[in-house]
Amino acid sequence: LAFAKIGKHRVILLEDWVTPFGTIPKGFTSDGASIPRLLWWFSHPFAELLESSIAHDWHYDNAIGTKDIADAAFKQVAIDYAA
């Protein structure tokens, strides 16, 4: 997954990203995982869950499918990208 940080709290995809839930286009931006700042010592918004957060944000921002589909995308991508 190729991305670059833009600003303090956003990333941008540098190329199309093909997932089992569809293709997320180059240029899509995300704010990463919605993790309260108090817990950033445990997991930063641009750390382990970044890929799944991008997939989830894409589905929500573009009203693709239902909340259940967006949540399933988050879960499956998190499993696929687990260390």
Read off the pLDDT of residues 38-65 as tens digits, 9 standing for 90 and up.
555 455 545 567 787 888 888 887 777 6
pTM above 0.75, yes or no: no
pLDDT single digits (tens) 4-44: 888 777 889 999 999 888 899 999 988 776 655 555 545 55
Alpha carbon distance, N-terminus to C-terminus of the chain: 14
Q: Which ranges of the chain does DSSP label H, i.e. alpha helix?
A: 50-61, 67-80
Q: What pLDDT is recorded for position 35? A: 56
Distance CA 61, CA 40 (A): 24
Mean pLDDT across the stretch 52-80? Answer: 79
